[in-house]
Homo-oligomer: A and B are copies of this chain.
Amino acid sequence: MNLKELAHKLGISQTTVSRALNGYPEVSEATRRKVREAAEVHNYRPSLRAKSLATGRSMAIAHVVPVSSKHEMVNPIFADFIAGAGEEYARAGYELLLSVVADSDHDRMYRDLVTRKAVDGLVVQAPTLTDNRIPLLADLGIPFVVHGRSSGVVSAYNWLDVNNRRAFERATGLLLDLGHRRIALLNGLATLDFAHRRSDGYKRALLERSITIDPELIAHDEMTENYGYEVARRMLAQPNPPTAFLVSSIIPAIGVRRAITDAGLEFGREVSIVIHDDDLSYFRNAGDVPLFTAVRSSVREAGQRAAAMLLEIIRRREEGIADEAPMQILMEAELTIGQSTGPRALSRARAQN
């Protein structure tokens, strides 16, 4: 059933049917009701393709999720981010186009999506230190929002980010307050911008207390469980092992915990952990006293808000509202104390048994 047939069936022009269904005012309530009923009865839905060709809008947003070219991995936190964004898109009648693409092909992918007019807007995930996707998209002139920031990009753009520096500065501060001096940082991939902001926060807190930074205690990699395990195991076997770990995600933190217990040490007593908690739905760090002490920021909420921001940008552009200052949201992480942290005094005492 298409528009033509429906109009014919009703003995009304296509114009009127189209207007009736799209809520235009220049159609009488009587006909509007008749049209609505007929559409319902015959289960009529306008063809998306025809509609988007006619309107010039495709009512779709693309998320290009990077797949690590080395390891062919796709980060599970995207699942929650996309769930949040998808919710918002569904509400507004947008579709979500997902491309899983090796980092190296991102440029071509974005260019393609834009020049083929596949989508009305884009979300950029996991920006690197100087991410050339940002100038590229700005150049292509399509609305986009970055989840995170790219320190090396000077031009202004729309982004939504967590205050990673502050979060990690606070987390480090907490461990310092507990007396820890050898604090390991298990960070994400060194190419990613957020990892640098986290390092910055960590280092700033240490330097403020005049503690020299030991590069041996800093690791960068894909945030898998196994990475957490292997690095923690190695570090704990050192002559002067860390008494605390700051871990960029709950997933490697699970590995760190495993390494701690494997080494016969007591988690949260002899060795402390603070994590960045994305509030992943399958890894809720919940409970009265959650397992991990954490700086928490829901990635699902980030997805939802990034999507809302993008839709707002698109709306404004369509209404011809002049491009004002770019939209930028900085979310603060909240610190919650769990079972994974304790004073260093105790841990040293125990370790000396």
Q: Which B residues are in CB contact (< 8 Å) with A58?
A: 48-49
Selected from B46, B76, B86, B291, the residue in CB contact (under 8 A) with A99 is B86
Give the chain B neighbours of A240 by CB distance below 8 A. Answer: none
The answer to whether the Cβ of A95 comes within 8 Å of any Cβ in the partner chain is yes
Residues of B within 8 A of A49 (CB): 49, 52-53, 58, 117-118
Cβ contacts A to B, 15 pairs, < 8 Å: A45-B116, A47-B117, A74-B80, A76-B76, A76-B280, A86-B100, A95-B99, A96-B100, A223-B282, A224-B283, A225-B282, A226-B284, A226-B287, A251-B282, A261-B261
- Name the B residues within 8 Å of A95 (CB-CB): 97, 99, 118
Task: Tell me the chain A residues, 161-195 only, with Cβ under 8 Å from chain B.
Answer: none
Whether A30 sits at the interface, judged by CB under 8 Å, is no
**Alpha-carbon distance A282/B258, docked complex (angstroms):** 15
Which residues of A, 277-296, contact B by the 8 Å Cβ criterion? 280-284, 286-287, 291
The answer to the question of A322 belonging to the interface, with a C-beta cut-off of 8 Å to chain B, is: no
CB distance from A103 to the nearest CB of B (A): 14
Contact between chains at B46 and A116 (CB < 8 Å): yes
A3 in the interface, Cβ–Cβ < 8 Å? no
Is A318 close to B, CB under 8 A?
no
Let me know if B281 and A74 touch, CB within 8 A. Answer: yes
How many identical chains are in the complex?
2
Chain A, interface size category, equals: 35 or more
Tell whether A308 is near chain B: CB-to-CB under 8 Å: no
* A101 CB within 8 Å of chain B: yes
Q: Mark A69-110, 1 if CB is under 8 A from B, else 0.
A: 001111110111011001100100001111111000000000
Counting CB contacts under 8 A, is A254 at the interface? yes
CA of A99 to CA of B94, assembled, Å: 10
Is residue A112 within 8 Å, beta carbon to beta carbon, of the partner chain?
yes
A67 interfacial by beta-carbon distance below 8 Å? yes
A50 within 8 A of B: yes
Within 8 A of B (CB), among A110-130: 111-112, 115-118
**6 shortest interchain CB distances as A-B pairs:** A76-B76, A86-B100, A73-B281, A74-B83, A45-B115, A98-B98
A43 at the interface (CB under 8 A from B): yes
